């Protein structure tokens, strides 16, 4: 597997730490406008490979990826791994699991 699953408790610990990481929301722009996790950057899954240069600086740094329920983010993790990104984390259950 090219990524590690984390839960909302682990994400909250990361958010409280001083660690520099990218929180990547790969939902649609409409979904992102409705709700998001503070500090997240939105690059929709459908545009990810076309806009990969936007996150190139994080190729060797930690990236936490989330979507609505945790399925699209797995696809994003796999795509980024194929593009040479190394430190990938998938938020289990997505933003639904995060806000509950």
Task: Catalogue the active-site residues.
Answer: 67
**24, containing H or E segment:** strand 22-25
Question: Torsion-angle region of residue 46: left (phi > 0), alpha (psi -120 to 50) or beta?
Answer: alpha
The string of DSSP codes covering 32-70 is HHH---TT-EE--GGGTTTTGGGGGGGTTSEEEEE-SSS
Q: Which residues are registered as beta bridge partners of 25? A: 42, 66
């Amino acid at each position: 597997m090219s990524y590690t699953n984390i839960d909302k408790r682990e994400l909250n610990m990361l958010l409280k730490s001083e660690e520099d990481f990218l929180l990547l929301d790969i939902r649609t722009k409409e979904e992102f406008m409705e709700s998001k996790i503070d500090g997240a950057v939105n690059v929709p899954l459908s545009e990810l490979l076309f806009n990969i240069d936007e996150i190139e600086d994080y190729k060797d740094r930690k990236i936490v990826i989330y979507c609505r329920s945790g399925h699209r983010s797995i696809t994003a993790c796999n795509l980024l791994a194929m593009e040479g990104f190394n430190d990938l984390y998938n938020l289990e259950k997505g933003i639904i699991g995060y806000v509950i």
